[in-house]
Amino acid sequence: MPAAATKCLRCNTVQGWGRFAVVSGTTLALLTALITVTEHAAPTLLALWRGAFSEIRATPVDTVDNTLRLLVVNDGTRAGVLQESSFILRTDSGRLEEPLDVRASVGLIKPGEARELTLVLNEMYMPKMIAALSENDPHAVDPDGRRWMRVFPAYSAHITGSARNFDGSAQRFSWPVKLRCDLNSCGFELP
């Protein structure tokens, strides 16, 4: 038999590596069944490997005056908890740090659930906020030296929040906002 031959002329067997790749009907059926079972079992096995978790995301939707609307979504496989006292407004200059009122039901967020929250600057704190922001601010002084604001700049700030997972860990999120005030009130702007 020649060295370059791929098939024996006498016994009709394949020569070379191809002789090991004999696939019968039974082998092909077993391979197909293995692939099908693996395809259906993979998501369950992956979920067991990862374990149960909550993944809460909050995204700013829009602002109106002193309110900021958020869309809160739990993309995890387990419920998470949003705490009412977890939203705080901080100016980047560090002159102001105020809690925000939450106007919606907070608490348990189930897996796959989306909820809209409204964060509000409490009007009771407005005079204190305006005084804190205008202190030592050259924009807040009239050219005659009087301490009242004709032109008030937009202050860079961040709103931070947190959610608690059932395993005890916390997720934190933060959004940049602009805080714009006049003589009587303050409001949000999204950058």
The pair of three-digit structure tokens given for residue 126, joined into one six-digit string:
């407005």
Please report the pLDDT score of residue 36 as a whole number: 92
pLDDT of residue 35: 92
Question: What does the alpha-carbon distance between residue 15 and residue 20 come to, in Å, rounded to a whole number?
Answer: 9
Beta bridge partners of residue 150, listed in sequence order: none
CB 91 within 8 A of CB 156: yes
**DSSP letter for each residue of 12-61:** -PBPGGGGG----HHHHHHHHHHHHHHHHHHHHHHHHHH-----EEEEEE
One pLDDT digit (tens) per residue for the chain, 191 residues: 777 777 888 887 777 766 666 667 788 888 899 999 989 888 888 777 767 778 888 888 888 888 888 888 888 888 888 765 567 888 777 777 777 777 666 678 888 888 888 888 777 777 777 777 766 665 555 555 555 445 566 778 888 887 777 777 778 888 888 887 776 777 888 87
Cβ(30)–Cβ(36) below 8 Å:
no
7 DSSP assignment: B
pLDDT at 8: 82
- The CA distance from 168 to 154, in Å, is 37
Q: What is the pLDDT of residues 161-185, one digit of tens each?
A: 877 777 777 788 888 888 877 767 7
Alpha-carbon distance of 58 to 116, in angstroms, equals 9
φ and ψ of 32, to 5 deg? -65, -45
Alpha carbon 35 to chain centroid distance? 35
